Structure 1
Amino acid sequence: MTSKTWFITGVNSGFGRQMTEQLLSRGDRVAGTIRRAGSVDDLKQKYGERFWVADLDVTDLTGVRTTVDRAFAELGRIDVVVNNAGYGLFGAAEELTDEQVIGQINTNLLGSIAVVRAALPHLRAQGGGRVIQISTYGGQATNPGASLYHAGKWGIEGFIEGTARDVAPFGIEMTIVEPGGARTEFRFDSLQLATPLAAYDNTPAAMVRGAKDRSRPPLGDPAKMAARIIDSAAQSPAPLRLVLGSDAYKFVTTALRERLAQIEPQEALAASTDAG
């Protein structure tokens, strides 16, 4: 197996950490970005030059381009770019503050777009590469109390799918990963919850208030999920979407069937508005 070089945002925890550990242990190189100083010192000490680390807040768009440019300059070819950095924001739309809304979109949508845009010139110049976007089943399906989280994920999925068509002639392929719930610290360390409004106390949106309840562990094994994400980079052609977890498969397929059931009966109505 030929070793690869990966650029991964948010390697201090969750899927980013899992992927980094697995990749380094098999002999690949990883350029990783972190928000918490010292959070990956153990990996740096163990793997040395094969693990390149930079501090990066993906909402700093200038910093994103500078960091990506530096990674390519110092490491040469980067085979796979992984957009992993992000966080959850739960609560009914009117429970959220303006600052929370802006922070969510800046991180989960604009930050991911910035990483891809910064990497594309380098990927074109080297004749190809792979972009992997970590999304969620919530990029295709929705739950009450997660409207802004969905907004960012639906947005980035549209961006990746559209951009994949743009860059296919250059040998650049893209994959959107849609995991279900995973047993990482995502729900506990990085998840933000809105300040509750009493009006939503007995509504479906209130269910997300218990999202940090550790007594109900998610189904997904993060190590297995990380391994499947890594494996997808060797698939040719690249899968446009990779659904991980039986819960994710159920939510996504149900949402798609419901959407088709709503739209298909409108075929005649849609055609009735065509110019005669």
Structure 2
Amino acid sequence: MIHASRSARTWLITGAGRGLGQAFARAALDQGDRVVGTVRRPGALADLQASHPTAVREILLDVRDASAVTAAVDEAATAFGGINIVVNNAGSGLVGAVEELDEQQARDLLDLNLFGAMWVCRAAIPHLRSGGGGDIVQISTVGAIGSMPTFGLYNASKWALEGFSEALAAEIAPFDIRVTIAQLGGFATDWAGSSMSFANPKPEYDDLRNTLFGTTEIPWPVADPQAQSTDADPRTAAEALVVHLAQPDRPLRILIGDDARGQAALAYTARRDSYGEDRDFNWPS
């Protein structure tokens, strides 16, 4: 339901066709807001359009194409007369040791996870500014705090996302545009399935893969669709984001997911310890 103290807002959500993106869209619609969702597959938002025919628009977009992003964001801004909240959700994973990575795979991942979000921000800022402000949400991960063997490039893409987003937050604060970096833990999405790419494996890393994943098979064996997932429901991530955006004094970063805080603590501890015992400063408490 719409909160009595405000009018409906318009969300622009990239990668809205499934998983977390669709959960964010449903949460926005449930509170009476409107959604413009970018998708890679036509009709991905058909169910939402059927249930909310006057509040949902679908735009085909590959966020790696900077000129297409500008046109799509302009189209989104005209759909409902402006944009209030931008959620950069589109992204994918890549598994591979650094030695295994193919140049084009690496560039494609950075184009999607890093530059795609940057192009959306760049195109959306004028619309948010002309509307008197708003929010940009960067969907990140606890993997942007630490790293994991064979996920190095994915970690790098999210570390870089957070680096430019922190600078962006200071640049656009005078326009009353707020930035949120949402560091997510594990959620039951297709991120580890069809959204995951794999480098061409080298046998030298088979022991490492077996230790990490319990298999040397690449790509991973297809998960049993009947198996019970241990990851959280994406709806809980969407609910947490809605609550965060309702806070007047929301911080730059938010941890989302039952496992996120524990993973963040481990990552920051490892970062501290990486300076060794003879470091000449005291780690902030």
Does TM, scored on the shorter chain, surpass 0.5? yes
Q: Distance in 2 between matches of 1:211 and 1:151?
A: 26
Q: Distance in 2 between matches of 1:15 and 1:115?
A: 18
Q: Distance in 1 between matches of 2:64 and 2:237?
A: 26
The gaps in structure 2 that reach 5 residues or longer are none
Deviations 1:192-222 (A, max 9, x none): 1222110101125863554864568343221
Instruction: Decide whether aligned partners of structure 1 residues 183 and 102 sit closer, same or farther in structure 2, where only a CA change above 3 A counts.
Output: same
1:155 is matched with which residue: 140, 155, 160? Answer: 160
Deviation at residue 99 of structure 1 after TM alignment? 1.5
Partner of 2:270: 258
Q: Distance in 2 between matches of 1:6 and 1:78?
A: 6
Deviation at residue 147 of structure 1 after TM alignment? 0.7
Paired residue secondary structure (1:53): strand
Question: Of Structure 1 and Structure 2, which has the larger fraction of its residues in helix?
Answer: 1
Amino acid at match of 1:226: A
Q: Is the 8 A contact 1:92 1:205 kept in 2?
A: no
Paired residue secondary structure (1:202): helix
1:167 is matched with which residue: 169, 172, 176? Answer: 172
Partner of 1:32: 37
RMSD: 2.0
Instruction: Decide whether aligned partners of structure 1 residues 211 and 125 sit closer, same or farther in structure 2, where only a CA change above 3 A counts.
Output: farther
Q: Is the 8 A contact 2:140 2:183 kept in 1?
A: yes
Q: Is the 8 A contact 1:64 1:115 kept in 2?
A: yes
Deviations 1:39-87 (A, max 9, x none): 2112112211210111000011000011111211332231110000011
Instruction: Decide whether aligned partners of structure 1 residues 159 and 216 sit closer, same or farther in structure 2, where only a CA change above 3 A counts.
Output: farther
Report the more deviating stretch, 55-64 or 243-252. Answer: 243-252
Q: Distance in 2 between matches of 1:102 and 1:181?
A: 25
Q: Distance in 2 between matches of 1:245 and 1:193?
A: 26
TM value normalised by structure 1: 0.90
Q: Is the 8 A contact 1:80 1:233 kept in 2?
A: no
Instruction: Decide whether aligned partners of structure 1 residues 262 and 216 sit closer, same or farther in structure 2, where only a CA change above 3 A counts.
Output: farther
Q: Are residues 1:187 and 2:167 paired?
A: no
Identity %: 38
Deviations 1:110-158 (A, max 9, x none): 0001001111111122221111010111011111110110111000011
Partner of 2:109: 104
Deviation at residue 106 of structure 1 after TM alignment? 0.3
Q: Is the 8 A contact 2:84 2:131 kept in 1?
A: no
Q: Are residues 1:134 and 2:139 paired?
A: yes
Instruction: Decide whether aligned partners of structure 1 residues 235 and 265 sit closer, same or farther in structure 2, where only a CA change above 3 A counts.
Output: farther
The gaps in structure 1 that reach 5 residues or longer are 269-276
Amino acid at match of 2:245: A
Q: Is the 8 A contact 2:17 2:45 kept in 1?
A: yes
Partner of 2:46: 41
Q: Distance in 1 between matches of 2:195 and 2:273?
A: 36
Amino acid at match of 2:267: A
Amino acid at match of 1:267: D
TM value normalised by structure 2: 0.88
